[in-house]
Amino acid sequence: MIITIMICFIVANLILGFWSARKTKDSSTYMLGDRKMGVGVLIFTTFATSIGAGDMLGYPALGYAEGWSSLHFILAMPVVIILMAVTVGKRFYDLKVTTISDLVCSVYGEDKYLRVIPSICISLGMLSWLAAQYSAFGKTLHLLTGASPIIGLLIGAALFISYTVVGGLVSVIFTDVLQGVFLAIGVLVVFIAVTVKGGGFVAIQSGLPDNYSSFLGPVGAITILMFWLNKGLSRFTNFPYWQRLGSAKSVKAGIWGIILGMVVTGISGVALALIGMAAFKMNPGGMGDPEMIFPHYSISLFPKWVAGFFLGALWAAILSSAAGFLNSSTTLLGHDVWFKVIKKSKRSKVELLKDLRIITLVIGVGTLLIAWLIPSVLQLFIWAGDWLTPPLIPVLCAAIFDKKGEKIPKAYLSLSMIVSGIVGVTFEVIPSLKALLSGGTIPAFIASFIIILFGAIFGGINKNHSFKNDVKEG
């Protein structure tokens, strides 16, 4: 019964996805949905994209392992994305650009490195999240049927790739609205049921270890700093939210849609962490796989048909986030690498639409390899932050601190991203280095900051360097 209800939910998503794909006529609609989205739609698509299957599985696991200190990881992204919308939302929307690289190049002048490097780095970050959705789908199907997680990876990929390839952002946003409703109800009701099962909120908290009640908790200050950089500040360059700003019918609708969507995201994230804390209190002997807390209690605390509804919410999270990350990666790589650099803007919008659909298919299938190599949902989260960090400071400069492109030479911006990426990966893959700073995010950020600072000091004193000169020379 559980599987039947979940299948019905999936079929409804596919029907909605393919039906809405009729509105996609050219590449502009595929990437930005004709800029017609209202506040209500943006709230649901922001929320549905933010709470993916990785979060539905990973946040309870964090609450289970770290108590209240897990909120640093969970709330960092909503806080930073709200700041992003407030600080750069109007500028990005008014420029009518398509990608983050468009924004950078509009400030510093067209440059293939400033166009390609940010898009590749941000795409790698989003593909890590996409792989996390694959992994979560495989784990959930394994829990329900005993089937190999690899089978779940393939089934999940086939489902959301199909309508994303055809409809692009329009199909993603329409299905997000349906998935967001299921997701919000599922998280709320499971949270209430688990809290009641644990004897109430006060009883659960009093039954936790002392360090679980502290916001420093068992993780320590360095790890918390890594949380805010990895899941927080680096998310400033998380393109799905910029893309949704660009798809709004007005700048006001875009900014408020993102803000309110992030508020709902933060509340849901806290509820998921509290579910994990309740699981710790009720299972002092430990759970075999803490990432399975949400599906475990969905099945054990409710009738089969209700459990099917809640696990449908989990699959909603998988589909919505995966489709959003897939479409955003396609937009970045298709627009900035294929269209602007390789084809040099010689393709029409209709021709580019065909190209984008092929790119979407290639990216979706190729990401299966990442999910197979890194099955841990939380580890994929960490890798996502590592890849989003290199373009962070250059984007902040272009969007906030150097709007006229007069303070930092372009070469320093490109160098900072290259060195930051190398440093981040090095610290992440070498165990002895990773232990020093809890991964590659902090050293990657520091490396980029130092290079940009040198650029501002030595390049800023060059009075001949300006955006106008770059345009004349370029």
| DSSP secondary structure code for residue 37 in this structure | B
CA dist 154 and 169 (Å) reads 22
Nearest to 248 by CA among 258, 236, 238: 258
Q: How far apart are CA 94 and CA 106, in angstroms?
A: 12
Q: What are phi and psi of 37, to 5 degrees?
A: -80, 135
Does any domain span residue 319?
yes
Q: What is the total count of domains within the chain? A: 1
User: Which tokens belong to 40?
Assistant: 């209500």
Q: How far is CA 406 from CA 128, 210, 273, 460, 465, in A?
A: 34, 52, 45, 7, 6
26: left (phi over 0), alpha (psi -120 to 50) or beta: beta
Our measurement of the distance from residue 113's CA atom to the centroid of its chain's CA atoms, rounded to an integer in Å, reads 24
pLDDT at 462: 55
Q: Any residues with CB less than 8 A from the CB of 126 and at least 6 apart, and which?
A: 238, 239, 240, 325, 328, 329, 384
Q: Is 211 exposed, middle or buried (0-12, 13-18, 19+ CB in 10 A)?
A: middle
* pTM to 2 decimal places: 0.83
What the block records as the tokens of 417 is 């991203």
Q: What pLDDT was estimated at residue 412?
A: 94
Helix (H, G, I), strand (E, B) or coil at 207: coil
Closest by CA position to 40, among listed 180, 163, 210: 180
Residue 278 sits in a domain whose CATH number is 1.20.1730.10
Helices then strands, counting H and E runs in the chain, come out as: 23, 0
pLDDT computed for residue 381 by the predictor: 65
The amino acid sitting at 55 is D
- Say which residues have a Cβ less than 8 Å from residue 308's Cβ, sequence separation at least 6: 1, 2, 3, 4, 5, 6, 9
Q: Tell whether 10 is covered by a domain.
A: yes
The answer as to whether 440 is a domain residue is: no
CB 62 within 8 A of CB 294: no
Q: Is residue 386 part of a domain?
A: no
Structure confidence at residue 196 (pLDDT): 93
Structure tokens at 208: 């936790």
Q: Give the closest residue to 49 by CA, choosing from 261, 329, 362.
A: 261
Domain membership flag for residue 437: no
Give Rg (Cα) of the chain.
22
Chunked in runs of 10, what are the mean pLDDT values of the chain (474 residues)? 74 79 83 86 88 79 88 89 93 91 93 94 84 74 74 76 82 80 86 92 89 77 77 85 92 95 94 93 78 84 81 71 84 92 87 90 83 67 80 91 88 94 90 80 91 85 48 46
- Inside any domain, residue 474: no
Contact 6, 311 (CB under 8 A): yes
Q: Residue 471: its pLDDT value, please?
A: 46
CA distance 367 to 469: 41
Nearest CA-CA partner of 23 in 37, 38, 12 = 37
* Residue 25 structure tokens: 């006529």
**Residue 52: domain span:** 2-374
SS (H, E, C) 231-281: HHHHHHHCHHHHHHHHCECCHHHHHHHHHHHHHHHHHHHHHHHHHHHHHHH
- Please say whether the beta carbons of 41 and 258 come within 8 A: no
User: Is residue 424 in some structural domain?
Assistant: no
User: Is the residue at 466 inside a domain?
Assistant: no
